[in-house]
Amino acid sequence: MEEQKLSKIALTTKEACEYIGFNRSLLDSYRKAGLIRAIKAGRYFIYPVAELENFISRNIGHEITKDGVIYD
């Protein structure tokens, strides 16, 4: 019987970058600007998958600068 692989509900910074297709610098900038929310766990951040997917959905059709300025 084949084991089912459980899906993660939160990702490390590296995993979040791979998931959303950003480099770490851009992900950090968007987190600091409040565009992507994360949970601070000790000295690390974890990113809920739902938050990454919501960020994408909220910003379809927008242009966002590295500093977090959103243009319609």
Mean pLDDT in order along the chain per 10 residues (72 residues): 72 96 95 96 96 95 88 82
Confidence (pLDDT) at 19: 96
Three-state secondary structure call for residue 47: strand
Confidence (pLDDT) at 72: 78
Confidence (pLDDT) at 71: 86
**Rounded Cα distance, 22 and 10, in Å:** 16
- Name the residue among 52, 72, 50 with its Cα closest to residue 63: 72
Q: How many CB atoms lie within 10 A of CB 25?
A: 10
Confidence (pLDDT) at 69: 84
Q: What is the residue whose two structure tokens read 């600068």?
A: 65
Confidence (pLDDT) at 27: 96
